[in-house]
Structure formats: structure tokens, C-alpha cells
Structure 1
Amino acid sequence: MATLSFNPTKFRDQKASIPYKPISNFTSFSQPTKISCTSTPHNLSTSPLKTSSKCSKRHRFQLINSVSESSISSPVEEAETIEEDDKVEDDPTAEMSFLDPGTEPENITEWELDFCSRPILDIRGKKIWELVVCDDSLSLQYTKYFPNNVINSVTLKNAIVAICDDLGVPLPEKIRFFRSQLQTIITKACKELGIKPIPSKRCLSLLLWLEERYETIYTRHPGFQKGAKPLMVLDNPFPMELPENLFGERWAFVQLPFSAVREEVSTLEKKFAFGASLDLDLLGIDIDEEILIPGLAVASSRAKPLAAWMNGLEVCSIEADTARASLLLSVGLSTRYIYATYKKTPVTTQETEAWEAAKKACGGLHFLAIQEDLDSDDCVGFWLLLDLPPPPV
């Protein structure tokens, strides 16, 4: 049974050393710009993906100890303060400025940022904009509303500086953001402050927080407009041909027990030169140890250079497109590559659909492994991926 709670839950530290278990023979590359299948895959009746487990998602970000500007400006007696804090926490119009007291400020070097309109109208009947900032561990959380007539790079730059002043944290080294429409504003503000802007959909903490805020804050705001569509829809561009430097030689669908996936994540920095993990404790991903997590293994005689190129791409997810008999690799902000192709038959379609179904049964959790040989237990690069739907705002 697999469940995704997205709560800061701690797992037991269990060691696991289990090699990748191939579940297909999609292994041949025929052209330098496509990963092609020329061999026959195993029938899923003899090598099935486990897709029967159900998965539910509940996003619960505990916004405790949040402080609004109004609570700072109006000192009251202790009993009244406690009562007021409870009201602020429940007040959907309140802004928050929070830094975990147990966190060293200088250790927060990367932020995730969204600066966009919300389905909320102000007293002028105009959509309110909101700045939402956090780090990947949610040790830093900040929100602030803005009228729509002050949205520019100067406002954003000043707000970034204000966050640092309010919370006593240094300017971050990097800021990730996921909306292509705001790339110009965010990039300009960041560069003027000497911050590296990173367009990337690997803003998982931010995306989940926005979903939580929609359910618990925006829908309760007095200006909420039910049915309002997001002003900025996320891009889903037509996939492009894979660049030659990202080409591998063989590939296969693989699967790992969740316990082994956690072990790979825990040893990522020691064991692999390249890759990216997810904070499974923060996300509170609660999956049975034996549940098999689907992945894609890519082998190449130039595995290290291949992994190095992949490492700079902000790898987001892998998606099966059975209509086009291909696997699509999403990287960065709005780039999709045709990462793998195969000969379309009823058998290959069935196996690819099963791989995608297994990914959905695990709440979108999957992985990409780059190896020198598919039969090896060692990886040169390992990326843990989570395929999330776009936020409702």
C-alpha cells in the first residue's frame, strides 16, 4: 500500500543494497538523436510492474509561528497576543515571515520563488499578486501581497532585500522559479543583486506549498473568485530532438524497492558524482518498503560525460507517450526532449502503459539512472524525480 502524505515525517534508517531489476529489454539506440528500441520487451505477464497499490496525496504544510506585519505593529498583553496569533494563523489575508529558529541563516543558500497573480480581487476589483518564497526544506517561508500596478523587477528586487532584512538571512546564491512568463522580471531582479536565477520545475516544496495555500488560504479569502483560471498557465511545449551530447547507447525500464531508493538518495553525495535527490522526510512520502518504484536506466561507454551534461539541465521528469511510442524528458523550465523511441506494438504499448501506471500509483515518484553498463549495480548519476500536476494558481 502506497500513500503520499507530504508531511515532515521521519523514516527509520534501513540499509538496502539491491541492484536495479530490469523489467524490459528496451535496450538499443539506433540514431545519435534518439534512444530507439530494436529488441523485444518482456511480456508484462511474466515481468509485471506492481501497479495495484493505491496512492493518496495530502499536503499539510504547518505554517506555525508565522508573523504578519499587523501583529508586529500592534503590541498587546501576553494573553491577548496568544489569542491574536491564533487569529493571524487562521486569517487568509495575513502575510507571513518565518524562519525556523533551529536553522543557521547562512546555510540557506537557495530559494524557490513565485511572483504571480492569485484568484483574489482587491477593493478595486483587480487581481491581487503575491510573492511566495521558501527554501527546499521550508525552513524559510515568506508571503506578501501586492497590487497589480506595481509588478516589475524593481518591486521584486526590493522585496528580496526586505526578506533578508526582516529574517536576518543573507542574499541567496540561487533562486529557482517555474513560470516562463516571469523569466524577464525575475532574472533582472536576481542579476542586479548578484543572484543566479535558475529556471526550473524542480521547485517541489514551492509547488506543494502553493497547492496547500490554495486549499487553505486563497479559497477562504474574502476576495476569492471561484472558477477563476490561472493568469499564467505552465508551458507544455512540443518535444524536440535530443541533443547529441545527451545520447546514450542502451536503455531499459527498471524498478527498485522503495527501501533501496531511499538508500540511493541517502548515499547520493558519497556514491555518485552527479544527480539530484528529493527530501523524502520533508515530503513525508509514506510508501511501503517493498513497493517497486519505476525508473529508467541509461547505459553509455561515456557515462560520466553524459551524466555531467545531464547534471546541468535541472531534470524534472520522464513521461511515457504511447501515442508517439516515445519517452519524453522534461528539463529546466519548459524544455521537453524525445528521450527514447521504440517500435510500437501491442506488447511495447502495454509495457510502456504499465510503467506510466506504476509511476502514477507511486504518486509520480520515479527515477533516472545513468550507468556504464545496464548489468552493473553501480551508477554514475542518479536523479530522483516527482511528476507533479501544475499548481491551481
Structure 2
Amino acid sequence: MATIWELDYYSRPILDEQNKKIWEVVICESPTTVEVQPETLFRFSKYCPSTEVNSGWLKDAIESAISEAPNPPDKIRFFRQAMNNMITTACKGLDVPAVLSRRTFALSAWLQDRAQNVYPQEPGYQPSLNPSVVFPVLPPQVLPEALEGQKWTFATLPLEALQEMGEWSIDFGEAFPLSLTELEPDAPVPGLIIFSKRATAMAAWMSGLEIAAVKYDLALPNRLLLETGVNDRWFLTTLDKKAIPETQQFEEAKTRSNQVHFLAIQESPEVEAFAGFWLMRDMPF
């Protein structure tokens, strides 16, 4: 199984002796199954003086993390689009692919914890608002014709049923720890199941993307969208008038489940195995 890291490199609410904000790199291994506890996986953090913020310093820091980690990363995820050039340059120097992704659930939880319990204890701490990261909305792209599903349906699973994901037959997909969902075990989790004769090809293609969310956009009332990366969007399927109320109910169910939902791909309703299954949470940063 590939080792994926989640990374953030940005200023923190801590001032140095010159009243300049101190920067920090934080790295954690991405938990990709439902049962793993994020805090048991590899973590690394290091402060960076504002005068040394550049891709070279970051490359050295990542290299230090690699030397301490039990396994080097096969891929590094990051969510700050504004840091794209600096992070990708640093990772390129280490021959590690870096991708923009909203699948940084463990990192987001760790950053929240550090904001509450670590930074306030540091000399020079200055409380400040942590503005949300805003992603520009891009026009949706068209899926390759051969990868369009023939049929689809909405479904619901109790959160506790997802505990057994590790025992399911899944060719492609990814999950995250259920402990990060902040839901009760019997909470219903909504999802979309796509049926296609080319299910395996469709799931394999999607596995190359950073699957983020299935979404109904009121600005595109007759379409259901797949969101990937941080702001890439795809036309997933066309909705007829009868399907729109059900799609609206899906969005309402996502609100009740704290935006936790899933996308599944199967050859047919009669097949128990999944060509693809992704657990997602559409969360702000």
C-alpha cells in the first residue's frame, strides 16, 4: 500500500523578536482506512524563520522528515493553493509527487489541535483569526465518454457499517478514520452508487484523481458534479426532473452527516464487489 503524506507550510500566530510571523511545516501520514487512529501514524513539525521561507528550506525539512519516518512518502498532499509553486518545487527536488487535495483530514484535525493546545504555549503567541482557505470555482469538465455510468442511485449506510470496509471487495478507493467524522455510530451516511459495464475502467481512472465530493450545484440544476483536487469539477451525470428532488434530499442528508458521504462504482446492482469506493467529507479549510 502506498504511503501518502499530508503537508502544510504556512505562517502561524507566533511572532519572533522582530515581530515577524514564524512559519511552520507540519507533515503527517495520511490514514487511508476507517480503523486507523491518525495520532498513531508518523508526524513531523518544524518552525521556520520568516527570513528563510523558500522552497530550499522546505525541501531540507521534508528530507529531514523522510530520514525520521518509518516509510518514505509515495505522494504528498497539500491544500493551500497559494503555496503550490513552493511546495511542488521542494517536492520535485526530492522526486516525490505533490498534489493539491482536499483529502487532508488528519492534517486539518492536527492543525486545529495545534492552534488550541500548542501555539498558545509558545513565546510570542498572538491570537488571530484563521481565515478559511477559499478555492476559486472552475467550470466543470466533461468526463471521457467511455467512463460515463449507465445507471445510478442514491443510497444510505449507517456509519457503523463502514467499519467493515476493510473486509469488502474493493478494487480502487480510499477511506479515512471514522473517528474524524464526529458522528454517532448509527448516523446515516448518504452516498451515490454508479453502475457501469466499464466499472473497473471508470474506478481506475478516478483513482488517479483526488476524489473530494459529489455535489449538487444550484447553478447547474440539471447536473450532478464530481469534485476532485481542490477545485476541479466534472459533470458526473445529467438529471431529469424526477431526479432533482432526490438529489436535493441527498444534499440535505450530507448536511446532517457533517458532509460525510461516499461514492461507489459497481458493474450492476447484482454484483456485491465494488470496482471503486471512496469515503469523503466535504469540509472547509
TM-score > 0.5 by shorter chain: yes
Identity level (%): 37
Other-structure match for 2:230: 333
**Using the alignment, how far apart are the partners of 2:6 and 2:260 within structure 1?**
20
Aligned to 1:191: 92
The Cα shift of 1:250 comes to: 1.6
1-side partners of 2:219 and 2:77: how far apart?
A: 32
Is the contact between residue 322 and residue 349 of structure 1 (CA under 8 Å) also seen in structure 2?
no
Partner of residue 266, structure 2: 371
Measured at CA, do residues 322 and 266 of structure 1 come closer, stay the same or move farther in structure 2, by a change above 3 Å?
same
Task: Return the match for 1:251 from 152, 163, 166.
Answer: 152
Q: Which amino acid aligns with 2:278?
A: W
Shift of 1:195: 1.9
Q: Distance in 2 between matches of 1:228 and 1:308?
A: 37
Matched, 1:151 2:53: yes
Instruction: Indicate conservation of the 8 Å contact 1:295/1:366, yes or no.
Output: yes
Alignment gaps of 5+ in structure 1: 1-106
State the superposition RMSD in angstroms. 2.6
- Cα gap change, 1:170/1:374 in structure 2, threshold over 3 Å: closer, same or farther? closer
Alignment of 1:273 onto 2:273: no
Structure with larger RCO (C-alpha < 8 A, sep 6+): 1
1:164–1:378 distance in 2 versus 1, CA, 3 Å: closer
Bigger Cα displacement from structure 2, 380-389 vs 208-217: 208-217
Report the alpha carbon displacement of residue 305 of structure 1 after superposing the two structures with TM: 0.8
1:214 to partner: Cα distance: 2.3
Deviations 1:144-197 (A, max 9, x none): 2212221111101111222344x3645423222122222222222222222232
CA gap 1:308/1:229 in 2 versus in 1, 3 angstroms: closer
Provide the TM-score with structure 2 as the length reference: 0.84
The alpha-carbon distance between structure 1 residues 355 and 219, as it changes in their structure 2 partners (threshold 3 A), is farther
Deviations 1:89-124 (A, max 9, x none): xxxxxxxxxxxxxxxxxx993321111122443332
Q: Distance in 2 between matches of 1:274 and 1:352?
A: 25
> Counterpart amino acid of 1:211?
Q
Q: Which of 128, 133, 140 in structure 2 is aligned with 1:240?
A: 140
Structure 1 stretch displaced more, 348-357 or 199-208 = 348-357
2:252 to 347, 352, 357: 357
Pick from 104, 126, 139: which aligns with 1:203?
104
For each residue in 1:8-55, what CA deviation from the matched residue of structure 2 results, as whole angstroms up to 9, or x when unmatched? xxxxxxxxxxxxxxxxxxxxxxxxxxxxxxxxxxxxxxxxxxxxxxxx
Instruction: Count residues in correspondence.
Output: 274
The residue type equivalent to 1:149 in the other structure is T
2:143–2:235 Cα contact (<8 Å) kept: no
Query: Deviation digits for residues 121-155 of structure 1, max 9, x if unmatched?
Result: 33323222111111123322222221222111110
d(CA) in 2 for partners of 1:170 and 1:321? 40
Letter in 2 for 1:253: F
Alpha-carbon distance between aligned partners in 2 of 1:162 and 1:227, rounded to the nearest angstrom: 30
Give the TM-score normalised by structure 1. Answer: 0.63
Equivalent residue letter for 1:154: G
How far, CA to CA, are the matches of 1:349 and 1:248 in structure 2? Answer: 18
- Residues 191 and 360 of structure 1, relative CA distance in 2, 3 Å threshold: same
| 2:181–2:260 contact (8 Å) kept in structure 1 | no
Structure (1 or 2) with the larger CA radius of gyration: 1
Which residue of structure 2 aligns with residue 31 of structure 1? none
> Unmatched 5+ residue regions in structure 2?
31-37
Are residues 261 and 134 of structure 1, via their aligned partners in 2, closer, same or farther at CA, if it must alter by over 3 Å? same
Which residue in 2 is equivalent to 1:181? 82
Helix, strand or coil for the counterpart of 1:123? coil
Task: Give the drift of 1:229.
Answer: 3.8
| AA of the residue aligned to 1:152 | N
Q: Does 1:283 align with 2:183?
A: no
Once structures 1 and 2 are overlaid, which stretch shifts more, 217-226 or 364-373? 217-226
Which range moved further: 148-157 or 138-147?
138-147
Q: 1:371 to 1:109 in 2, by over 3 A?
A: closer
Give the 5 Å matches for 1:5-16.
Answer: none
- Of 7, 21, 24 in structure 2, the residue corresponding to residue 130 of structure 1 is 24
Q: Determine if contact 1:297/1:374 at 8 Å carries over to the other structure.
A: no
Contact 2:148–2:237, Cα closer than 8 Å, also in 1 = no
